[in-house]
A and B are shown apart, each in its own frame.
Chain A
Amino acid sequence: MNLRRRYLRDRVMQGLVYLGTLAVLLPLFFILYYVFVQGIGALDLAFFTRPPAPPGEGGGGMLPAIVGSLVVDLIALALAAVFGVAAGVLLAEYPDHPLNPFLHLVSDVMAGLPAILMGLVAFVLVVKPMGHFSGLSGAVALALIMVPIITRATEGVLKLIPWEITEAGLALGLPRWRVILSLVLPAARGGILTGLMLALARGAGEAAPLLFTAFGNPFLTLNPLEPMDTLPLKLYVYAISPYEDWHRQAWGAALLLAAAIMVANYLARRATRS
């Protein structure tokens, strides 16, 4: 009897675990299904090639937001890569440096800070002195989000590189900096690229820190000193608007964004494996 109760409890708990897992996966499928079904119809040629149209006219597109996303995200990635990779190199290759405990703490804690706070910081540090919103300030906000991701990824992969490679280089008479630049970093290229991809995927989906930095701009511009639109920003504005055709385009933007981020994540995973 007692044994039967134990078996029964085993079964019940197994059922609950399965149920709990389904409770997570079903909404995910639900979301992906809706984004795909609603979004696919909005992705026509005009979506990629035309500036937005006033509500009701139809036929508008997302060109400024797509271009703006590319510009802002790439500037942010370039900024974050320089600082993040350097910090990762310091942590992994100069393990005794007195700055490292602080750097560890900073990269651990910064990654968990709310993204909107980075927007506030970029507003105070860049928008206010410049006197107006700009794509550049948005890139600074996104870079603050990306840096800890890149630092941790770089440190992690550099620590996986066998110490013998460094020793071999030093034994050949190479100075330290040549060893790091020509032996260690190339060996770690795949892992560092993974970190950059993950950081880009994370930054590309953020709208909160851009609300009062990049701000949005209905006109196509390549100048990062002007306000710029990005896909997540436009998606937000369109989603809370009352217009049917804007809603349709918001779903299109969601599909494009989700697809781009899934591809980036997939590439990042593949780079790690090889």
Chain B
Amino acid sequence: MPGWLYRRLGDRLFSALVVGLALGVVLAALAIVWVLYQGGREALHTFGFLGFLTGSRWDAVRGEFGAWPPLLGTLLTSAAALFLAFFPALSAALFVVEFAPRALKGAVAYLIDLLAALPSVVYGLWGIFVLVPLVRERVELPLFTWAAAHAPGLLAFLGPPTGIGMLSAILVLALMIVPYASALARDALALVPQSQREAMYALGATRWEVIRRVVIPYARAGIFSGVVLALARALGETMAVTMLIGNSVNLPYTLFGPAATMASLIANEFTEAEDDLHLSALIAVGFVLLLIALATNLVAAWVLRRMSLGEGRK
């Protein structure tokens, strides 16, 4: 009975194939968590999970590994980049949705999305040869000489004005995460019903008052999830940061001086790791990074889901 075969067996086989492959995707995701945990277990056992997180020395020669310096570097650079990126990203979204003439809308939106498409190494290359000299000559040296003359107490905080260091990494990172925050904010702003704006205009509000009182509050869930996604990107951004931050895990960090993030530490040391403990410590750093990235992504997914549920209800 070929017809029976064709119908019944065909459907069984096809759905088994699809389910099997999809199961592969789920298993791959679980494998990411499991592999990083297993790989880092030796280091986590040697120092204890909390001890590893709070250990403030990362010294491969002495076999002493604490993740606090790269963790701190990641948190500082990401927070600073997010702070720098937030208002420009929101401005760009507002510009596209509320202010731009029709002809400009698409072009500006495209250019901002292009920022997300450019590879990290290209940002890094530009950072090394264009941004770093600029930051050194125009920002760090003037500030440094001013501080040396007027406020010597600041010098310990500023650090060596070489251009390669935390400030340059933060600037490039901020630029790189703008499109992620901006794209979601743009979508959320565009979803605000026109009637809401018109009602506010009818009350005599200016354009800014409409934006401030109606448009932004209405879109806040989308704006917030965009910020969280941008943060997730900043936490894991590797190449550009590795090329610009100077890669030093010695605390204390300074504003101009070299530092390290979790991602840059892994990128920088992994191929040079000699003994098992060093390798395991680097994978454990990856595991910590995974936990942080998972948490931020889950928050963003949760907010987005709540937002779309809200849309469904109205």
Residue ranges of A at the interface with B (Cβ–Cβ < 8 Å):
6-7, 9-10, 13-14, 16-21, 23-25, 27-28, 30-31, 34-35, 38, 82-84, 86-87, 89-91, 94, 97, 99, 102-103, 105-110, 112-118, 120-121, 123-125, 144, 147, 151, 175-178, 180-181, 201, 204-208, 211-212, 215, 232, 235-236, 239-240, 247, 250-251, 254, 257-258, 261-262, 265
Contacts and interface: CB of A to CB of B under 8 A. Distances in A.
B114 A14 contact: no
A7 B206 contact: yes
Contacts of B29: 106, 109-110
Contacts of A35: 122, 125-126
Given A20-B88, A117-B236, A232-B120, 11 more contacts: A10-B207, A13-B212, A82-B21, A106-B29, A108-B297, A113-B294, A120-B266, A177-B14, A206-B119, A239-B128, A251-B125
Nearest to B28: A144
B148 to A, nearest CB: 30
Nearest to A268: B117
B21 A116 contact: no
A17 B94 contact: yes
Interface string B81-101: 000000111111011001100
B32 A103 contact: no
B95 A208 contact: no
Contacts of B237: 114
A97 B22 CA distance: 11
Interface string B151-167: 00000000000000000
Contact of A17 (B32, B95, B296): B95
B38 to A, nearest CB: 8
A201 B114 CA distance: 11
B111 interface: yes
Contacts of A89: 18
Given A6-B206, A14-B207, A208 B125 contact: no
9 contacts: A13-B211, A35-B126, A83-B21, A86-B18, A87-B25, A109-B297, A113-B32, A124-B38, A265-B113
B266 A99 contact: no
A82 B99 CA distance: 43
A20 B121 contact: no
Contacts of A110: 29, 32
A179 B267 CA distance: 47
B219 interface: no
B208 A13 contact: yes
A115 B286 CA distance: 11
Interface stretch (B4-12, B51-59, B249-257): B4-12
B120 A212 contact: no
A240 B15 contact: no
A88 to B, nearest CB: 9
B118 to A, nearest CB: 6
The 6 closest A-B pairs by CB, nearest first: A114-B236, A20-B91, A205-B119, A177-B14, A86-B21, A208-B238
A52 to B, nearest CB: 17
A175 B7 contact: yes
A21 to B, nearest CB: 4
B198 interface: no
Contacts of A103: 22, 25-26
A102 B11 CA distance: 23
A168 B205 CA distance: 52
